[in-house]
Amino acid sequence: MPTRPFYDPSLSYEDNYARGPFGLFATAPAPATPRADAVPRERFLGIPVHSTFGIPAGPLLNSRFAAAAFAHGFDLCVYKTVRSAAHPCHSFPNTLAVESDADLLPNQTVIAHPACALGETPPRSITNSFGVPSQSPDVWQPDMAVAVRSAQHGQVLIGSFQGSGEGVAQIGDYARAARLVVETGAPVLEANLSCPNEGKKGLLCFDLDKVKAVVDAIRKEVPDRPLLLKLAYFEDASALDALVCALASKVDGFCAINTLSARVVDANGQPALPGAGRDISGICGAAIRWAGLLMAQRLNAVRMTRGLNFAIVANGGVLTPADDAAYRQAGADAVMSATGAMWNPYLAQQIKKERCHDLT
What pLDDT score does 34 carry? 59
What pLDDT score does 304 carry? 97
Ranking 151-160, 267-276, 349-358 by mean pLDDT, the lowest is: 349-358
pLDDT digits over 218-243, tens only?
999 999 999 999 999 999 999 999 99
Query: Where does residue 161 fall: left (phi above 0), alpha (psi -120 to 50 degrees), or beta otherwise?
Result: beta
The CA-to-CA distance between both ends of the chain, in Å, stands at 21
- φ/ψ of 207, rounded to 5, equals -105, 90
For residue 360, name the pLDDT band (cuts at 50, 70, 90): very low
310 or 1, greater pLDDT: 310
Q: Is the pTM of this model over 0.75?
A: yes
The predicted model gives 324-345 an average pLDDT of 97
For residue 3, name the pLDDT band (cuts at 50, 70, 90): confident
Distance CA 102, CA 163 (A): 34
- Contact call for residues 102 and 79 (beta carbons, < 8 A): no
